[in-house]
A and B are shown apart, each in its own frame.
Chain A
Amino acid sequence: KQEVTQIPAALSVPEGENLVLNCSFTDSAIYNLQWFRQDPGKGLTSLLLIQSSQREQTSGRLNASLDKSSGRSTLYIAASQPGDSATYLCAVVNAGNMLTFGGGTRLMVKP
């Protein structure tokens, strides 16, 4: 059974810092990995999707990498802003397009 772990569970940084969120998964036979953002009481917003054949994806200040063989992904946020404060969720897809989620990292960026 696939298990997804996200470290740290919570993170507080001053504005302007670069930061890295970590995601690990136990079954490396994934089809893709997706990073989401969730604001309090809201649904999930898809940030980046990395296919299993890819090593990284970039969108603006966000960069996500994937090392399938070691079961790891990182989300890099450059020059963090208070508006980046949210919970970030990592999810992997195995067969059947089913997402297995990690527990999330709650990020607070202080002005």
Chain B
Amino acid sequence: SQTIHQWPATLVQPVGSPLSLECTVEGTSNPNLYWYRQAAGRGLQLLFYSVGIGQISSEVPQNLSASRPQDRQFILSSKKLLLSDSGFYLCAWSVLVEQYFGPGTRLTVT
């Protein structure tokens, strides 16, 4: 069966520090991968999606970037965090039409 992992589960970082969140998927090949953010008082927003290794599309301009170094690995990064980057970050995967979500990472920027 397929599983999706995200780490860390929680993270507290000061403004201006770098960020690296990791997502890995097991039990499937060549999935589409997605990063979403859920900020307090706002809905889920798609940040990045990837249809293959090295192929990244961004939905919104922002302080974040994404990379896909391996087929089942998706990384969300920032060189310098802003307060507005705080939120709950969710990774998801799909092969056909249904999307499946990971457990999420709670990021607090102080």
Give chain A's interface residues, CB within 8 Å of chain B. Answer: 31-32, 34, 36, 41-46, 49, 51, 89, 91, 93, 96-104
Contacts and interface: CB of A to CB of B under 8 A. Distances in A.
A51 B44 CA distance: 21
Given A44-B90, A104-B43, A99 B99 contact: yes
Contacts of B104: 41-43
Contacts, number: 50
A99 B97 contact: no
Residue of B49, B88, B92, B101 most packed against chain A (CB within 10 A)? B101
Majority secondary structure, B binding face? strand
B97 A42 contact: no
Nearest to B97: A32
A44 to B, nearest CB: 4
Contact of A97 (B6, B94, B102, B106): B94
B26 to A, nearest CB: 15
A46 B43 contact: no
Contacts of B46: 98-100
B87 interface: no
B103 A42 contact: yes
A49 B90 contact: no
23 contacts: A34-B98, A34-B99, A41-B88, A42-B103, A43-B6, A43-B103, A44-B92, A44-B101, A45-B101, A46-B98, A46-B99, A46-B101, A49-B97, A89-B44, A96-B49, A97-B49, A98-B46, A98-B49, A99-B34, A101-B44, A101-B45, A102-B43, A104-B43
B32 interface: yes
Contact of A43 (B34, B98, B101): B101
Q: Which 8 A-B pairs have the closest CB atoms?
A: A44-B101, A101-B44, A43-B101, A43-B103, A43-B104, A103-B43, A49-B98, A101-B43
